[in-house]
Structure 1
Amino acid sequence: MQLTPKITQILNHLETIQPFNPKDSLDGARKYLETMSLQLSGKKESVAMIEELSIQQDNHQIPVRIYRPHGKEIQQSSAIIYIHGGWFIAGGYETHDAVVRKLANKTGSVVIFIDYRLAPEHPFPAGLNDCIDGINWVFKNAESLGIDPDKIGIIGDSAGGALATVVSTQLGKQLKFQILIYPAADNQLNSKSWETYENGPVLNKQGGIDAWAGYLPEEEKGNPLAIPVLIKDFKETPPTLIILAEHDPLLDDGKQLSLNMENAGVTLKTSLYKDMVHGFMHMGDLLEEMQLAVNEMADFAHQNLKSDE
């Protein structure tokens, strides 16, 4: 494994992060992701407006944050649903704020960030249901949100990539595109890349085993709605871009998902970012590849939204 000096610098820094006063290992993992994102994402771009609201469900609320980009009229905007990563157990507004701001400005689309319920407090299918219910709410309220319901796509990273993949098999005909960033596609963790990168960088196998155990109830272990590599029916899936990182234990799982989609006839582009590690989208302070990936995602969004930009 040949790592670039910048990646080595980042990994050395990650080893120094000490989450502040964690209550337990789960709290520590959540605080670690927040700290990493805060320290490595770089300066946050300003956007025109950020709104927070909650979608009322029968027995809980789904928080959402709406990012409106600079230089756009509010009415009839294109939109992107963002589903965040964090091994299904971590992540939220603050961990992905810098990434989402960049995506909003570069795509010119309103970005709607769904803060779904996390495992292990809320195992599968709670988070998935929140994503589906949240997206249905966006379509139902598109006019009042100033969104064109015929110009909506979805982006998910890591665990959010798994959730987005499944969402697209359910709602895909409504979505104009899908972008999956190093998706967590399989719970087996037995691929060649998992063998190579069992102890990292960034992710490690034991952390993955613990995360899937908290997310996936025993009776759901063969459910393709939880495990994207088991999906056979991709007929609803819109044109898809998959972004993979070379030094990532999830690399082979992402490749397998890509192959499954290709064999099912999905309109597909797969991009491998050489020298990159899992989570490089949070490392924009040091890695120009983060901006290159944002540019690629924006180009893909524009092509599939047929926008006027």
Structure 2
Amino acid sequence: MNLTSPIIQIISHLEKIQPFNAQNPLDDTRKYLETMTLQLSGKKESVAMIEELNIQMESHSIPVRIYRPKGKGQKSSAIIYIHGGWFIAGGFETHDEVVRKLANKTGSAVVSIDYRLAPEHPFPAGLNDCIDTIKWVSDNAESLSIDRNQIGVIGDSAGGALAAGVSMQIGELLKFQILIYPAADNQLNTKSWEMYETGPVLNKKGGIQAWKWYHPEGESNPDPLAVPILIKDFKNTPPTLVLIAEHDALRDEGEVLAQHMKEAGIPVHVSFYKDMVHGFMHMGEILKEVQHAVDEMSAFSKQYFENNEK
């Protein structure tokens, strides 16, 4: 494993993070992600407006945060952002800096979902929250100043798995999906998992536990809506961009998922980020590749939004 100087600097920093007053391993994981993103994400861009809303369901509500981009007053396209965190961690604040960049660069309203997390709420709770949010955005597009015919989805890591599940169910509402180093397989038995079993960033022990918490039936009866590598029918899946990091335990499963989509006839572009580690989108304080990735995702989203306008 040949790591660049910036990556070595990041790994050294990560090794020193001590989550404050962690109560148990789950709390430790959640606080670790919060601390990592706070310290490494870099300066937050200002946006025109941020609105926090609660989508009322029968038995619970789904908190969402809508980021309005600078210089966009009229009805806009919308990107639904599904955050990562091994299905057990993450939220508005862990992905705030990335979402701000995406809103300004794409010119789209970005809707960030604070979906229910495992183990308190195992599959399919989080997935249902994401599906319900996209339906709600589509149904209420007029009052949200959003063009219901111009909606896309982006998910990173566990959020990539959720996005793929969303596309299976309601992909007809989406113009594209972007999967950033997606968690596609619950087996953790690929060559890249063997290479990066103890890191950087992810480790196999934590991954096994996270999948057990998220999808308890996954070992004996895995559901393709939870485990995207098992999807056979991609009929609803829109054009897809997959971002892969070189030094990432999830590298191989992301590439296999992309290949499955290609074989099913889905327009797929795979972008390989050399030298990068899992979670590099949170490391904008040090890595210039974060902006490169934002630029690439913006170009991809505009391509499909513009195609829709023609």
Q: What's the TM-score once normalised by structure 1's chain length?
A: 0.98
* Distance in 1, Cα, partners of 2:231 & 2:217: 18
Q: CA deviation at 1:173?
A: 1.3
The correspondence of residues 199-210 of structure 1 with structure 2, limited to 5 A, is 199-210=198-209
* Distance in 1, Cα, partners of 2:150 & 2:135: 14
Q: CA deviation at 1:222?
A: 2.0
Residue 81 of structure 1 corresponds to 80
Residue 195 of structure 2 corresponds to 196
SS of corresponding position for 1:123? coil
Residue 306 of structure 1 corresponds to 306
1:38 and 2:38 aligned: yes
The correspondence of residues 141-290 of structure 1 with structure 2, limited to 5 A, is 141-218=140-217, 221-290=221-290
Q: CA deviation at 1:205?
A: 0.2
Q: CA deviation at 1:256?
A: 0.5
Residue 99 of structure 2 corresponds to 100
* Distance in 2, Cα, partners of 1:49 & 1:158: 27
Amino acid aligned to 1:284 = G
* Distance in 2, Cα, partners of 1:100 & 1:201: 24
1:166-224 CA distance string (max 9 Å, x none): 10111111101100000000000000000000000000000000000100122673210
* Distance in 1, Cα, partners of 2:217 & 2:251: 25
Aligned residue pairs total 307
Amino acid aligned to 1:158 = S
Give ranges in structure 1 of 5+ residues lacking alignment. none
The correspondence of residues 47-86 of structure 1 with structure 2, limited to 5 A, is 47-73=47-73, 75-86=74-85
1:21 and 2:35 aligned: no
Q: CA deviation at 1:86?
A: 0.1
1:34-74 CA distance string (max 9 Å, x none): 0000000000000000000100111111000000000001x
Give ranges in structure 2 of 5+ residues lacking alignment. none
* Distance in 1, Cα, partners of 2:158 & 2:279: 11
SS of corresponding position for 1:9? helix
* Distance in 2, Cα, partners of 1:38 & 1:109: 24
* Distance in 1, Cα, partners of 2:260 & 2:114: 28
SS of corresponding position for 2:111? strand
1:91 and 2:90 aligned: yes
Percent identity at matched positions?
70
Q: CA deviation at 1:23?
A: 1.2
Residue 126 of structure 2 corresponds to 127
* Distance in 2, Cα, partners of 1:153 & 1:210: 31
* Distance in 2, Cα, partners of 1:296 & 1:165: 19
Amino acid aligned to 1:34 = E
* Distance in 1, Cα, partners of 2:166 & 2:284: 28
* Distance in 2, Cα, partners of 1:108 & 1:129: 27
The correspondence of residues 1-16 of structure 1 with structure 2, limited to 5 A, is 1-16=1-16
Q: CA deviation at 1:76?
A: 1.8
1:205-249 CA distance string (max 9 Å, x none): 000000001001226732101100000000111110000000000
* Distance in 1, Cα, partners of 2:216 & 2:143: 38
Amino acid aligned to 1:131 = C
Amino acid aligned to 1:89 = I
Where do 4+ consecutive residues of structure 1 move more than 6 Å?
Answer: none
SS of corresponding position for 2:142? helix
Name the Cα RMSD after superposition.
1.0
* Distance in 1, Cα, partners of 2:93 & 2:132: 22
Amino acid aligned to 2:124 = P
Amino acid aligned to 2:58 = D
Amino acid aligned to 2:37 = S
Residue 116 of structure 1 corresponds to 115
1:234-277 CA distance string (max 9 Å, x none): 01111100000000000000011001000000011000000000
